[in-house]
Amino acid sequence: MLNKIVLFLILFATWLVMSGMFKPFFIILGAASCLLAVIFYSLLDKNKTEGFSAIGLLLGGVVYGVWLIKEIILSAWDVTAKIWQLEPDISPEMAWVNTSLKNDISMTVLGNSITLTPGTVTVDINEDGMFQVHALTKAGLDDVRSGRMLEKVIKVMK
């Protein structure tokens, strides 16, 4: 129960900060939408959300978010440099990358993180935790295969 209260407070605080609406009507609507999100969360299959702590996800998510933003900036710089070369060093590749992830939420976070990073796109994810990734360069695909991002996701989702 405490986990759901903390989740509601996190969602509502985020809503307040991002909306900038402080009239009672909008505050009530924001609280109602956050309450609905918590209710829908509690209706999810317990096996898929079991073991997640809202506080742990918040703290780990902030650290992961900062790291991901850094990776996005570095990748964007790398892709821009490659594209603007007179003879671009681009060698598109697509491959399946094996992961140890079995949880839907973890797989979604990793897949979206790969796609957010310029030069790589998650094309498909199967039930066994295999990700089909398209990369602009072999180095980009090798970076995904290295498992750095996977390790960060696993650390956040503990």
Q: Are residues 63 and 97 in the same domain?
A: yes
Q: Write out the two tokens for 112.
A: 């979206």
Q: Write out the two tokens for 150.
A: 């996977």
Q: Are residues 72 and 145 in the same domain?
A: yes
72, pLDDT greater than 90: yes
pLDDT of residue 32: 97
**pLDDT (tens digit per residue) in 40-64:** 888 876 655 555 666 777 788 889 9
Quote the mean pLDDT of the chain: 90
Q: Are residues 69 and 112 in the same domain?
A: yes
Q: Which long-range contacts (CB under 8 A, 24 or more apart) does 61-67 make?
A: 61/156, 63/156, 64/152, 64/153, 64/155, 64/156, 67/152
Q: Write out the two tokens for 102.
A: 């079995």
What domain range is 148 assigned to?
A: 54-156
Does this model's pTM top 0.85?
no
Q: Are residues 29 and 93 in the same domain?
A: no
Q: Are residues 58 and 127 in the same domain?
A: yes
Residues 6+ apart with CB under 8 A from 147: 99
d(CA 130, CA 99): 6
Q: Are residues 74 and 112 in the same domain?
A: yes
In a domain? residue 49: no
In a domain? residue 70: yes
**pLDDT (tens digit per residue) in 99-152:** 999 888 899 999 999 999 999 999 999 988 999 999 999 999 999 999 999 999
Confidence of residue 89 (pLDDT cuts 50, 70, 90): confident
87, pLDDT greater than 80: yes
Q: Are residues 36 and 70 in the same domain?
A: no
pLDDT of residue 46: 60
Q: What is the DSSP letter of 84?
A: T
Q: What is the DSSP letter of 124?
A: E
Amino acid at 26: F
